[in-house]
Amino acid sequence: MADNWLFLGISAATVVEAFLYILPAYVTIVAAAIFGGGKPIDLGKTFFDGRRVLGDGKTFRGFFAGLAAGLCCGAALGNTALGLFLSLGALVGDIIAAFFKRRIGLERGAPAPGLDQLDFLAGALLLGCFVQPPTIDTVFITVVITPLLHLTVNLLGHLLGLKAVPW
């Protein structure tokens, strides 16, 4: 039983496989945040409700930096096509979540528990299906570990002065 993760019959090797599968999406989101800035994708436009379409947090530089980083990660892992699709999915999922956050009146940086941690993951897993569908174990593992990793990375970024808020 010691070789099973959380006593659910999932081996450590399966956890590692799941992590490596989704790693290009993780790299994409981190790189987009680190290298973002500049011209926003929504070009400052507002939707019919008067709120920004996406906001200043979604930029062309962040999008392309994230895409490049995720693509490089996928290539390093030996599956460039999967890296590309996971990266695109992660970015599109994050953009869609930003759109909905603006529609419900949440400003940039406002917490949206669940949505903030799983938006990019949902997009990545969905588009990843076109190249290499994830196993059920991979979906389960990534849904469990992603919020924990997301919160840990954000807290670390806040403690290091790289993020204004710890979420």
pTM: predicted TM-score of the whole model, two decimal places: 0.89
Nearest to 25 by CA among 137, 161, 117: 117
Nearest to 24 by CA among 86, 93, 94, 81: 86
CA-based torsion, 48, 167, 96, 61: positive or negative: positive
CB atoms within 10 A of CB 44: 11
CB 150 within 8 A of CB 117: yes
pLDDT along the chain (167 residues), means of 10: 59 93 96 93 90 93 98 98 98 95 85 84 98 96 93 87 78
